[in-house]
Amino acid sequence: MAKRTPLYARHLALGAKLVDFGGWDMPLNYGSQLQEHHQVRTAAGLFDVSHMTIVDFPDPVATRALLRHLLANDVARLYPGKALYTCMLNEAGGVIDDLIVYDRGAAGYRLVLNAATRDKDLAWIAPIAERFGTAWRERDDLAMLAVQGPEALDKLAAILHPATLAKVNAGRRFHAVEADDGLFIARTGYTGEDGVEIMPAAETAPLLWDQLLAAGVLPCGLGARDTLRLEAGMSLYGSDMDETTTPLVSGLGWTIAWQPPDREFIGRAVLEQQRTAGIPQILVGLVLEQRGVLRSHQPVYDGDREIGLTTSGAFSPTLNRGIALARVAADAGDRCQVEVRGKRLAALTVKPPFVSHTG
């Protein structure tokens, strides 16, 4: 049977359309995916993302050494409260998963990994952590709620303890705060909007969910989450990158910390070879010039030459256009054609994000 989050009963009561996502019964939408998308771009939306994998490493010193080896970005860049987006690579430089690391100071580090990759991630991490003598614990006792949108922080004001609210308001993007009662609130998300990801104890999550709805935050499903992240140019693991692609061919070169040169993180040797030899492909954004929808796995052409494939595609509700991420030859020009149902449709090549939050 599929796994269920602590908010499963809430989704049922709200009439959500439920789908299987990485072995979890998750809400796809609560009626209209388009409305939910616009809600997050213009006001605030609430997502149950409790299916995500949370892993805590309580020992800051041992874990720092472990993570500097395990991850392509460098946790030496962190300080207490700061978050870091990174890939976890195999020896061939392929992406096992992408994740966020939070520096919790004396309390160690927290990793948030994808749901569908949980088993292989933990199987990868466990022996390496053992070699470093680092303790870790999966936090399946925690839920995770994302409140996203330009009004997200205003809406939180109605439900947070004043002392916690003050901490959140004093915090910055891509930082996390921990309330006196232990509630973990990170200024992160997967929508391109300002907002937070809150990690309450599973048993208190339904109450928090109810309070957020009462404050006027509307529930949003994974369907809207996908179009929001795509508009924001954020990668989706398993679509835009996987174990066969390096960050360099996935638009994620910026997440690799090359300095210092003597930091031996897993996959480094292959990445350096690829960088020296020349990166054969790049991940670009495509915007359809005419009305239509792009999907993943559609061939991309430059005239007669097939130059790549789309990796994610959707109809952008904000732009009212078909958009996609595509892995194409590194010498691709600024125009291309995407094959949709046997027809070649003209598209512009752009550098993501497609939609920028300016607030």
Partner 1 sequence: MSSIILPELHYAETHEWALAQDDGLVTVGITDHAQQLLGDLVFVELPEIGRVVSATEGCAVVESVKAASDVYCPLDGIIVEVNELLADNPELINQDPYGEGWIFKLKTTSTLDGLLDATAYQAIASADDEEDEDSGSLTDPRLV
Binding region for partner 1 (CB under 8 A): 2, 17-20, 25, 28-29, 32-34, 223, 227, 291-293, 295, 314-315, 317, 322, 341
Which residue, 171 or 238, is less far from partner 1 as judged by CB? 238
Minimum distance from CB of 345 to partner 1 (Å)? Answer: 11
Minimum distance from CB of 230 to partner 1 (Å)? Answer: 11
Which residue, 228 or 282, is less far from partner 1 as judged by CB? 228
For residue 242, give the nearest of 49, 45, 98, 48 by alpha carbon: 98
Which residue, 33 or 246, is less far from partner 1 as judged by CB? 33
Tokens of 252: 């994620």
Minimum distance from CB of 38 to partner 1 (Å)? Answer: 11
Rounded CA separation 138/140 (Å) = 6
Minimum distance from CB of 242 to partner 1 (Å)? Answer: 20
Could you write out the three-class secondary structure of 255-275?
A: HCCCCCCCCCCCCHHHHHHHH
Q: How many CB atoms are closer than 10 A to CB 358?
A: 5
Minimum distance from CB of 291 to partner 1 (Å)? Answer: 6
Contact between residue 77 and residue 43 where contact means Cβ atoms under 8 Å apart: no
Minimum distance from CB of 13 to partner 1 (Å)? Answer: 15
Rounded CA separation 88/114 (Å) = 12
Which residue, 279 or 293, is less far from partner 1 as judged by CB? 293
Minimum distance from CB of 33 to partner 1 (Å)? Answer: 5
Helices (H) and strands (E) in the chain, counts: 9, 19
Which residue, 11 or 167, is less far from partner 1 as judged by CB? 11
- Phi/psi at 105 (nearest 5 deg)? 65, -130
Rounded CA separation 335/301 (Å) = 9
Which residue, 134 or 316, is less far from partner 1 as judged by CB? 316
Minimum distance from CB of 311 to partner 1 (Å)? Answer: 17
* Residue type present at position 160: L
Minimum distance from CB of 3 to partner 1 (Å)? Answer: 12
- Phi/psi at 315 (nearest 5 deg)? -90, 125
Which residue, 18 or 70, is less far from partner 1 as judged by CB? 18
What are the b/e assignments for 185-214, b being 16+ CB within 10 Å?
bbbbbbbbbbbbbbbbebeebbebbeebee
Under the phi-then-psi rule, with left for phi > 0, alpha for psi from -120 to 50, and beta for the rest, what region is 186?
beta
For residue 300, give the nearest of 345, 239, 248 by alpha carbon: 345
Rounded CA separation 250/296 (Å) = 14
Minimum distance from CB of 190 to partner 1 (Å)? Answer: 17
Which residue, 67 or 230, is less far from partner 1 as judged by CB? 230
Which residue, 55 or 220, is less far from partner 1 as judged by CB? 220
Longest dimension (CA), the chain: 62
Rounded CA separation 69/91 (Å) = 11
Which residue, 2 or 123, is less far from partner 1 as judged by CB? 2
